[in-house]
Structure 1
Amino acid sequence: MTTPLGLGLPQTRQYSVGEVPGVARAAERIGYQSLWSYERALFPEPATQGMFGVPGLPWHDFYRSVAEPLVTLSLAAAVTERVRLGTSVLVAPLHVPFQLAKSLATLDAASGGRVVAGFGSGWSLDEYAAAGVRPFEERGRTLDEVIEVCRAVWGPDPVTYDGEITRIAPAVVGPKPVRPIPILLAASTKQAQRRLVDHADGWLPLAMGAETTAAQWRELRDLAAERGRTRPIQTVLRANAVYTPKPYEGQDRAPFQGDADQIVEDLAAHAGIGFEEILIDLQVGPRDAREFTDVAAEVYEKARAAGL
């Protein structure tokens, strides 16, 4: 049985936002089963903190310009028919909960029920200073409210909600999603994993090498059993690739770094863990949208030839 493959849409500065529809059409034609966008709101200069909150770690230069994720997905939705449309991930506490719920519901209605809401709590102090609806220190509680508001807004009318940020008096709120939109969380900490087990539909981990990722998946399943979760956890693994036209020959090769054959080799190793889907992000390396599309086609064809 083959593993469904998703593709991260081109959002960084070597690509034009206007090229997204063409890439989305091509990806659906190639055979990808989902398309994804991520959120990076700004590039602080100088940064208040290191990337991912790691002291001294420089931010990736490609974060200097990242297209807004829901606009990116809307462009893709307008020109595709089959692929699912997901965020991996959207920093939910940077958004007003009610408006975010409305936007996702509208996109789902417009696309015929294809949206997957992947949320994270974020790590950038600078992004929170610019756009956070609550302070950085309250990001976990804010994410909890975003999830609750989404469930309420997407549910039956009249909608009511009374929280710290959001208050909805009994009201009709539409359009409604075509079907319940699954909420997946990145959930890399124990506290975030508990939130996932108790309140979310699934998990959106970042591939960290097959052995490490498999251990994380076992830990999450054990936690679900401890907390009495009976419904399955949906899984989409995110693989951030660094593409090179020629094989990467250094001994320090990271997972998903190298040419198409090396990327597929790593896909095969991670597919054996048992994730329902693997999202491959190929934005780093290709010079433009044409090369991006060619690389995406090569990776997909070689993955299928390898039985993935």
Structure 2
Amino acid sequence: MAIRLGLGLPQMRQYSLGKDVPDVARAAEGIGYDSLWVFERALFPEPATQGLYGVAGVPWPDGYRDVAEPLVTLTLAASATERARLGSSVLVAPLHQPFQLAKALASLDVASGGRVVAGLGTGWSFDEYAAAGIRPFEERGRVLDEFIEVCRAVWGPDPVRYEGRITRIASAVVGPKPARPIPILLAAGTGRALRRLVDHADGWLPVAAGADRLAAQWRQVQDLAAERGRTEPVQTVLRVNTALTAEPYGGTDRRPFQGDVGQIVEDLVAHAAVGLEEIIVDLQSGARDAEHLKDVAAEVHERARAAGV
């Protein structure tokens, strides 16, 4: 069975949110993409107080200046599609009030007929945590733990009861319930985050950084799952952030998924060989507009399938 392919929805400022999201979502489903995905970037600090991913000196991409809210984007996509799964890679869960976000995800799942995939992460931006005002950045792991617990409670049978540091539900009926159990996938790389993934989540959301590195990370996840006695398989969805160019990238410093469509497909073939279940291809930053995005998405899908992905 071929690996599933997902497409990143248009959230950046070169797109018209109300017009282009439904249009691209509908087109992607028609092309044959199995899923549609969003990411979260709440703000763009200026001047930047820290580098990209918290790495000093690495500038934030200009595209992060204007990123549409992820659940609004998914709701627009849900209204225009019938089959494609609707996922986040990722929602920065600790930026949100746990009870309200759990209820919003359940409502979207009901509205879409059971198509939501909740991909979560802790994020890395001090400024976003300060703006959200839920808990301090230093508590991000504990807040994510509570969010997962709140989701399981809110999405489960009534009466719902929960006692946490942020959320307290004495005894309540909470609806609507999801149309089916919503998978929770986590972005995790090391240590406590990997243990959280193996012990409490349904799956893993890595980001592409080379096929060899991905294979080593996947072995680490599998080894930890065996060590901790996990019996359920770990679902796997790889996020690919492309740096699309019109012509082939000829430099010796080419990064994975940097270049024209042919080079991106070559990298898809290499990463698909690792054996994950699904790959999200995000092409939006390199596309001029929605028409260009749809054309490139169709070409990537056709050539990837022809190459055996």
Q: Shorter-chain-normalised TM-score: which range?
A: over 0.9
Which residue type is aligned with residue 195 of structure 1? R
Q: Distance in 1 between matches of 2:277 and 2:9?
A: 20
TM-score, normalised by the number of residues in structure 2: 0.99
What is the CA–CA distance in structure 1 between the aligned matches of 2:122 and 2:13, rounded to whole Å?
24
Aligned to 2:8: 8
Pair 1:135 & 2:133 matched: no
Structure 2 partner of 1:288 = 289
Q: Distance in 2 between matches of 1:98 and 1:76?
A: 23
Q: 1:256·1:262 contact (CA, 8 Å) conserved in 2?
A: yes
- For 2:16, give the aligned amino acid: S
Alignment of 1:225-236 (within 5 A): 225-236=226-237
Alpha-carbon distance in 1 for matches of 2:298, 2:189? 31
Who is 2:300 aligned against? 299
User: What's the CA shift for 1:169?
Assistant: 1.5
Shift of 1:181: 0.2
Structure 1 range deviating more: 47-56 or 199-208: 47-56
Report the equivalent of 1:82. 83
Mean CA deviation greater in 102-111 or 280-289: 280-289
Deviation at 1:189, TM superposition (A): 2.3
Q: Deviations over 1:66-95 (max 9, x none)?
A: 000000000000010000000000000000
In structure 1, the partner of 2:17 is: 17
Is the contact made by 1:90 and 1:120 (CA closer than 8 Å) also made in structure 2?
Answer: yes
CA distance in 1, matches of 2:22, 2:283: 17
Q: Do 1:7 and 1:32's aligned partners in 2 also have CA atoms closer than 8 Å?
A: yes
Corresponding residue for 2:160? 159
Percent identity, aligned pairs only, is 75
After superposition, residues 117-196 of structure 1 pair within 5 angstroms as 117-196=118-197
Contact 1:93/1:132 (<8 A) preserved: no
Alignment-derived partner of residue 203 in structure 1: 204
Q: Shift of residue 117 of structure 1?
A: 0.1
**Corresponding residue number in structure 2 for 1:223:** 224
Q: What CA distance in whole angstroms lies between the structure 2 residues aligned with 1:306 and 1:212?
A: 22
Which residue of the partner structure matches residue 105 of structure 2? 104
Amino acid paired to 2:130:
A
Deviation string 1:77-115 (CA, Å, 9 cap, x unpaired) is 001000000000000000000000000000000000000
Name the amino acid aligned to 2:147: V
In structure 1, distance between residues paired with 2:290 and 2:26: 12
CA distance in 1, matches of 2:191, 2:276: 20
1:132 CA displacement: 3.9
Name the counterpart of 1:91.
92
Q: What CA distance in whole angstroms lies between the structure 2 residues aligned with 1:61 and 1:79?
A: 29
Moved over 6 A (4+): none
Partner of 1:105: helix, strand, or coil?
helix
Alignment of 1:263-274 (within 5 A): 263-274=264-275
1:58 is aligned to 59
- Structure 1 unaligned regions, length at least 5: none
Counterpart AA for 1:40: R
Q: Cα RMSD (Å) of the superposition?
A: 0.7
Task: After TM superposition, give the deviation of residue 226 of structure 1 in Å.
Answer: 1.1
Once the two structures are superposed, residues 223-273 of structure 1 have per-residue CA deviations (whole angstroms, 9 ceiling, x without a partner) of 111111111100000111111111111111110111111111000000000
